[in-house]
Amino acid sequence: MKVDMTNVSENTMNISDLIYKYMRIEHLPHIWCPGCGNGIILRAVAQAMENMKLERNKTVLVSGIGCSSRAAGYLDCNSIHTTHGRAIAYATGIKMAHPDYEVIVITGDGDASAIGGNHLIHAARRNIGLTVIVMNNNIYGMTGGQYSPTTPHREFGTTAPYGNIDQPFDIAKLAMGAGATFAARSTVYHAPQLAGIIEKGIRHKGFSVIDVTSICPTYYGRKNKKGSAVDMMRWQKENSIPVEKAKDMPEEELEGKLVVGVLRDKEAVEYSEEYSRLVDAVQGGIK
Amino acid sequence: MAKTVLMQGNEACVEGALAAGMRFYAGYPITPSTEIAEVSALRLPQVGGKFIQMEDEIASIACAIGASVSGVKSMTATSGPGFSLKQENLGYACLAEIPLVVVDVQRSGPSTGLPTSPSQGDVMMAKWGTHGDHPMIAIAPSSVKECYELAIRCFNLSEKYRTPVLFLMDEIIGHLREGIEIPDKVEIVNRPTVVNPHPKRPAYAPTDDLIPAMAPFGKGQRYNITGLLHDESGFPTNDTEIAGALVTRLMKKIDNNYDDIVQVEETLMDDAKVAVFCFGGTARAAKSAVETARAKGIKCGMFRPITIWPFAEKELAKAMKGVKKIIVAEHNYGQLVNEVRRVVGPEKRIEFIGKVDGTVITPDEILAKIEEA
Amino acid sequence: MAKMEIRLAGSGGQGIILATVILAEAAIIAGKHTAQSQSYGPEARGGACKAEVIVSDTEIGFTKVQTPTFLMALTQKSLDKYSKNLPKDCLVLIDEGLSVPQNLDGYKVIKLPILSTAAEKVGRLMTANIVAVAAINGLLKLVDDESLKTAVFMHIPKGTEALNEKALNEGFKLIENGGNQ
Give the model confidence (pLDDT) of A208-258 as tens digits.
Answer: 999 999 999 999 999 999 999 999 999 999 999 999 999 999 999 999 999
pLDDT > 60? residue B128: yes
Q: A5 lies in a domain? A: no
Q: Do B178 and C40 touch (CB under 8 A)?
A: no
Of A80, A92, A93, the CB nearest to B225: A80
Residue B373: what pLDDT? 82
- What's the pLDDT score for residue A154? 97
What is each CA distance from B20 to B1, B43, B188, in whole angstroms? 20, 14, 6
Compute CA distances A36 → A111, A220, B248, whole Å. 17, 11, 36
pLDDT given for residue C179 in this prediction: 52
pLDDT at B241: 98
Q: Which helix (H) or strand (E) holds A90?
A: helix A87-97
Segment A71-88 mean pLDDT: 98
Q: Is A2 within a domain?
A: no
The crossing angle, in degrees rounded to 10, of helices A117-126 and B57-69 is 70
- At residue B164, does pLDDT exceed 90? yes
Q: Do the chains contact at B363 and C24, CB–CB below 8 Å?
A: no
Going by C-beta distance under 8 Å and a sequence separation of 6 or more, which residues neighbour residue B153? B139
- Report, as an integer, the average pLDDT of C97-106: 95
Rounded Cα gap, residues A249 and A44, in angstroms: 29
**Number of domains chain A contains:** 1
Q: How far is CA A78 from the centre of its chain?
A: 18
A6 lies in a domain?
no
Confidence check: pLDDT of A8 > 90: no
- pLDDT, tens digit, 9 for 90 and up, residues A257-285: 999 999 999 999 999 999 999 999 999 97
Domains present along chain C, CATH in parentheses: 4-176 (3.40.920.10)
In angstroms, what separates the C-alpha of C38 from chain B's closest C-alpha?
8
On whether any CB of chain B is under 8 Å from the CB of C61, the answer is yes
Q: What average pLDDT does the segment B164-179 reach?
A: 97
Mean pLDDT in residue range C124-130? 97
B218 in reach of chain A (CB within 8 A): yes
| Chain A: closest CA distance from residue B309 (Å) | 25
Nearest residue in B to C21, CA atom: B177
Give me the pLDDT at residue C49, please: 87
A281 vs C38: CA distance, rounded Å: 35
Chain A hits for B67, CB-CB cut-off 8 Å, are 93-94, 96-97
Q: What is the pLDDT of residue A1?
A: 39
CA A233 vs CA A187, A221, A250, B336: distances in Å = 9, 11, 25, 60
C89 in B contact zone (CB under 8 Å): no
Task: Please tell me whether residue B53 adopts helix, strand or coil conformation.
Answer: strand
- A and C touching (3 or more beta-carbon pairs closer than 8 Å): no
Hey, which residues does C38 pair with through a beta bridge?
C51
Orientation of helix C145-154 relative to helix C161-176, angle to 10°: 150
Q: Which residues of chain A are within 8 Å of residue B94 when distances are taken between CB atoms?
A: none
Q: What is the pLDDT of residue A3?
A: 44
Band the pLDDT of C41: cuts 50, 70, 90: low
pLDDT at position C178: 66
- Measured between beta carbons, which residues in chain B are less than 8 angstroms from residue A80? 66, 69, 217, 224-226
Rounded to a whole number of angstroms, the distance from the CA of A100 to the nearest CA of chain B is 10
Q: Does B50 touch chain A (CB under 8 A)?
A: yes
Rounded Cα distance between A122 and A271, Å, is 12
What pLDDT does residue A182 have?
98
State how far residue C35 is from chain B, nearest Cα, in angstroms.
Answer: 5
The nearest CA of chain B is from the CA of A52 a distance in Å of: 18
Instruction: Report pLDDT for C175.
Output: 93
Which chain B residue is nearest to residue A125, measuring alpha carbons? B55
Categorize the per-residue pLDDT at C2 as very low, low, confident or very high, splitting at 50, 70 and 90. Answer: confident
Find the closest chain B residue to A277 by CA distance. B45
Domain B4-181 sits in which CATH superfamily?
A: Thiamin diphosphate (ThDP)-binding fold, Pyr/PP domains (3.40.50.970)
DSSP of B109-126: -STT-EEEEE--TTHHHH
Between C16-29 and C128-140, two packed helices, what is the crossing angle to 10 degrees?
40
Contact B62 A62 (CB under 8 A): no
Fold adopted by B266-371: Rossmann fold (3.40.50)
Q: What's the rounded mean pLDDT across residues B333-357? A: 97
Q: Where in chain B is the domain with CATH 3.40.50.920?
A: 266-371
Does A12 score more than 70 pLDDT?
A: no
Please give the mean pLDDT across all residues of chain C.
93
| Angstrom distance (rounded) from CA A247 to CA A186 | 16
Name which of A57, A72, A89 is nearest B218 (Cβ-Cβ). A57
Q: How high is the pLDDT of residue C44?
A: 52
Instruction: Return the partners of chain A (3 or more C-beta pairs < 8 Å).
Output: B
pLDDT reported for residue A211: 98
Sign (positive/negative) of CA torsion A8, A11, A17, A23?
positive
Instruction: Give the B:C interface size as CB pairs under 8 Å.
Output: 62
Whether the predicted pLDDT of C180 surpasses 60: no
Q: What is the least distance, in Å, from the CA of B103 to any CA of chain A?
A: 18
Question: What is the mean pLDDT of the segment spanning B38-52?
Answer: 98
Cα(B238)–Cα(B231) distance, integer angstroms: 9
Chain B neighbours, 3+ Cβ pairs < 8 A: A, C
Residue A7 placed within a domain: no
Cβ <8 Å between B54 and A275: no
The pLDDT, as a whole number, for residue C47 is 74
User: Residue B341: pLDDT band by 50, 70, 90 thresholds?
Assistant: very high
Specify the domain boundaries for CATH 3.40.50.970 within chain B.
Answer: 4-181
pTM of the predicted protein model: 0.95
User: Chain B: residue nearest C30 by CA?
Assistant: B4
CA distance A31 to chain B (A): 11
For residue B68, the chain A residues in CB contact (below 8 A) are 93
C35 touches chain B (CB under 8 A): yes
**Is A220 contained in some domain?**
yes
B219 to A57: CB separation less than 8 angstroms, yes or no:
yes
Q: Phi and psi for B48 in degrees, rounded to 5?
A: 80, 10
Average pLDDT over residues A108-118: 98
Mean pLDDT for B112-126 is 95
Question: CATH number of the domain that A219 lies in?
Answer: 3.40.50.970
The arithmetic mean of pLDDT across residues A1-29, rounded, is: 71
The 10s digit of each residue's pLDDT in A38-49 is: 999 999 999 999
Give residue-wise pLDDT tens across range B211-233. Answer: 999 999 999 999 999 999 999 99
- Other C-beta atoms within 10 Å of B166: how many? 27
Identify the closest residue of chain C to B6 by CA–CA distance. Answer: C25
- Separation of alpha carbons B28 and B82, rounded Å: 8
Contact A223, A170 (CB under 8 A): no
Q: What is the pLDDT of residue C13?
A: 86
Q: Which domain holds residue A136?
A: 15-283
Residues 225-264 of B with CB under 8 A from A: 225-228, 235-236
| pLDDT higher than 90, residue C31 | yes
Cβ contacts below 8 Å, chain A against chain B, sum to 133
